Amino acid sequence: MSLHSLWNRSVRTVSVYSHLPRDVQALAAARFINGLGRFVYPFLALLLTQRMGMSTAEAGTFVFFAAVSGIPGGLAGGKLADMFGRKRVLVTMQLAAAATILPGALLVHSIVVAYLIIGANFFNSAARPPSSALVTDRTTPDNRQVAFSFLYLGFNAGYAVGPLLAGFLFEHYAPLLFVGDALTTVCAAILTAAVVKESKPAAEDMARAAAINPDERPEDGGLMGVLLRRPLLLVFIVASLILNFVYAQSGFTLPLQLQGLFGGRGPVYFGVVMTINALSVVLFTAPLVSFSRRFRPLRNMQAVAALYAIGFGMLFFAHQVQYFILSVVIWSIGEVINATNVSVYIANRTPSSHRGRMNGFQPIIWGTGRAINAPIIGALIEHHPISSAWLLAFLLACAGGVLLLVLG
């Protein structure tokens, strides 16, 4: 294929985003700003162990509570979005997250920082359901996968730069991690408030959604009642939780392994690896979305399980940087497919009356996987080689894949 043909194909692939609603494009720009300033949370394990002198088990406990805080945050944000409107809740939660994380700049070596991060993660998690619900309101099943992938692409375009800068700040100007994180969150909130229109579907909006997709017909009752009437969605959530447990290794086990292998260069290498992750996402999202649209979301999720098994499992043997680079490219492809199909699968099976609350389950899927990962893996590597964590990741990815195959 000539360079000209490759360029034309890339342009056609990316052009699908130009037809999305203006509000979706604005939210994608806000996600870019959020990704650019994602400084603190990726370095949480290193902040706790290097700056505060915790053991890996103690750090795992705090990472657990930070992740768990996202569960009530997601539920609260989803419920409030259905009650008061998406935009109002989204902007409020973003500003609250910024106000919570900013004092960490003065308390870098204090245990108080850990509690601030826990609080900030609560508010950040509460901001995700109204954002996702707003995208669902503005789209149909025909363009929903493209819309969610654009938000995902926006965040990771910023995240391609953020960790690299954060790795430098961690070593030399740690307080600026908290300042930059807070300021970018405020900027994203201002953009959302200025450009995005409020959304709270009325009865006629719900009727139109149900006419297009019967699975989106409005229902009465609480969220648990809706889930019990949709058991396939519950099974899918369990499988996704397993895969997110595996993915959580990238934020806890990976930096600790790099620190153990490369000493003082470990944080820098971790920043490089995370930047490769974000660049891979930026480069692969559009073509992968274009390719995967021909398959059902469930089939795509089965591919995610295989990619996670290979990408994370190979780190059992990793002792050189090139192994980590190859690994991150493999599981980054899985990450793209996962991120652009989980939301679509859930949105297409969600009553229009419960979009905010159902989207609150996505932080639960992600947060619970991360929450139970940190203490389990922290305890495991206290008594066994750190490579054993990657063997467990391989086995669990296989188990998640089998569950998705059975569901299919």
310 or 320, higher pLDDT: 310
For helices 56-68 and 70-84, give the axis angle rounded to 10 degrees.
10
In the chain, pLDDT over 90 holds for what percent of residues? Answer: 24
Percent of the chain with pLDDT over 70: 92
Whole-number mean pLDDT of the chain?
83
Specify the pLDDT at position 67. 78
Most confident of 13-22, 330-339, 383-392: 330-339
17-66 pLDDT, tens digit each? 878 899 999 999 999 999 888 888 777 778 888 877 788 778 888 888 88
pLDDT value of position 6: 42
Which of 401, 406, 404 is closest to 312 using CA atoms?
401
Average pLDDT of span 147-154: 86
Determine how many CB atoms are found less than 10 A away from the CB of residue 262: 15
Rounded CA-CA distance 46/59 in Å is 9
Which has more confidence, 173 or 197?
197
Q: What is the pTM of this model?
A: 0.73
Among positive and negative, which fits the CA dihedral 242, 244, 247, 249? negative
DSSP class of residue 196 equals P
Q: Which of 169, 301, 323, 285 is nearest to 247 (CA)?
A: 301
**Residue closest to 149 by CA, chosen among 397, 363, 340:** 340
Amino acid at 376: I
Dump pLDDT digits (tens) for 338-389. Answer: 988 888 888 887 877 778 888 777 667 666 777 788 788 888 888 888 888 8
- Return d(Cα 248, Cα 369) in angstroms, integer: 7
Whether residue 210 is predicted with pLDDT greater than 70 in this model: the reply is: no
On the question of pLDDT at 130 being above 80, the answer is yes
Other CB atoms closer than 10 Å to residue 213's CB: what's the count? 17
C-alpha 291/C-alpha 185 separation (Å) is 33
Q: Name the DSSP letter for residue 197.
A: P
User: pLDDT higher for 100 or 156?
Assistant: 100
Q: Give the type of residue at 125.
A: S
254-280 pLDDT per residue, tens: 888 888 777 777 778 888 888 888 788
H-type helices in 139-174, by residue range? 144-159, 162-172
- CB within 8 A of 158, min separation 6: which ones? 31, 32, 33, 34, 35, 36, 37, 38
Q: What's the token pair of residue 329?
A: 């490219």
The reported pLDDT for the residue numbered 1 is: 47
Q: Which residues contact 61 (CB under 8 A, 6 or more apart)?
A: 374, 375, 378
Task: Say how far apart CA 379 and CA 198 lie, in whole Å.
Answer: 46
Higher-pLDDT residue of 347 and 135 is: 135
Spell out a b/e string for 176-209, using b for 16 or more CB atoms within 10 Å of the CB, else e: bbbbbbbebbbbbbebbbeebeebbbeeeebeeb
For 290-301, letters b (16+ CB in 10 Å) and e give: bebeeeebbebb
Q: First-to-last CA distance in the chain?
A: 36
